[in-house]
Amino acid sequence: VCLKQVPGTTKVKIDPQTNTLVRQGIENIVNPFDTYALEEGVRIKERYGGKVIAISMGPPQAEEVLREAISTGADEAILLSDGAFAGADTLATAYTLAKAIERIQQCDLIICGRQTVDGDTGQVGPELAEMLGIPFVAYVSKIEEVSNGYMQLQRMVEQGHEVIETPLPAVISVVKEINIPRLPSLRGLAKAKRAVIPVWATPELGVDKAMVGLSGSATRVIKIFFPQGRIQA
């Protein structure tokens, strides 16, 4: 399950050199859409067995969202953190995540939230699937069955729902209608507190440094500004 730490406040700061968000020193939370992805991963494990591994790319404090993931059912967590990863767009992010998933090996299903509340693009899931060379299904609202290397699921479309079947492994992005995320248990909180979360950087992942972070980003933010408030008459 792919998770992202996002600002938990609208009072964000922008780095004037890179035009990217300053994530240090502000309140951060797990991306709300990713909580549904994690919950669905845990439900699949409870129904069919297996193991849930939570992955997040970010600065050292992103470890917080991984501990939260363990407290709500993830078995393991891995933090992808390196100064070289800073400023990554969706393409560079997907590349780094793909390298981590390749290192883990034998991942039957990769689950993402439909989008993040800071970037709002919804691009990482499909880009990740393309880099891994496996199918992608967006806007999944229900997983009906998993058997014999296939998954049958429902996804939301403009005028209703579509029932499709996809071979595994696959990447899916889920919508909030898929479930109601659980709260952490006391046992889960204790497990999260004592968990040792490994940190994978460029040496562990074997990435091409020209493909990660700002240098590996195909898009650049030219300008970010805050709109002026409306003047009350």
Ranges of beta strands (E only) in the chain are: 2-3, 5-7, 13-14, 21-22, 28-30, 53-57, 76-80, 109-113, 136-147, 150-157, 160-167, 170-174, 199-200
pLDDT tens digits, 127-184: 999 999 999 999 999 999 999 999 999 999 988 999 999 999 999 999 999 999 999 9
pTM greater than the 0.85 cutoff:
yes
Backbone angles phi, psi at 162, to 5 degrees: -125, 130
173/129 Cα distance (integer angstroms):
11
pLDDT tens digits, 6-27: 987 555 566 666 666 665 666 7
Q: Around Cβ 161, how many Cβ atoms within 10 Å?
A: 14
Which of the two residues, 227 and 94, has the higher pLDDT score?
94
Between the CA of residue 163 and those of 89, 141, 144, what are the distances in Å?
Answer: 32, 10, 9
Length of the chain: 233
pLDDT tens digits, 30-87: 999 999 999 999 999 999 999 999 999 999 999 999 999 999 999 999 999 999 999 8
Does 3.40.50.620 match the CATH number of domain 2-211? Answer: yes
149/167 Cα distance (integer angstroms):
6
